[in-house]
């Protein structure tokens, strides 16, 4: 799967120094596993940010999951 959302996520992980398409190192199982853990940390950070700004993190997570699943369905 590819597209603007994947590119944006890879750019964000690249800013964290974790993963990126244009890096010198070919992504392997270890770098992908490290990127996965970093992505989970970013998601948790965003949920904390939402809560700190008076938003409902659970609702935001549910909506994000719904968007993700709808986009998968559209792509299929």
CA 25/CA 53 separation, integer angstroms: 38
CA-to-CA distance for 18 and 39, rounded, in angstroms?
Answer: 9
For residue 19, the 8-state DSSP code is -
Task: Express each pLDDT in 9-54 by its tens digit.
Answer: 888 888 887 755 555 556 666 678 888 898 999 999 999 999 999 9
Q: How far apart (Å, rounded) are the C-alpha atoms in residues 38 and 36?
A: 5
Residue 60 has pLDDT above 90, yes or no: yes
Q: Residue 47 burial (CB < 10 Å; 0-12/13-18/19+)?
A: middle
Does the CA dihedral 62-74-36-41 come out positive or negative? negative
The reported pLDDT for the residue numbered 10 is 85
């Amino acid at each position: 799967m590819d597209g603007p959302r994947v590119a944006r996520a890879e750019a964000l992980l690249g800013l964290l120094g974790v993963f990126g398409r244009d890096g010198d190192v070919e992504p392997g199982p270890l770098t992908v596993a490290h990127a996965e853990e970093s992505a989970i940390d970013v998601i948790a950070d965003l949920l904390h940010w939402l809560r700190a700004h008076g938003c409902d993190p659970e609702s935001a997570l549910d909506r994000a999951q719904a968007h993700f699943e709808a986009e998968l369905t559209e792509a299929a």
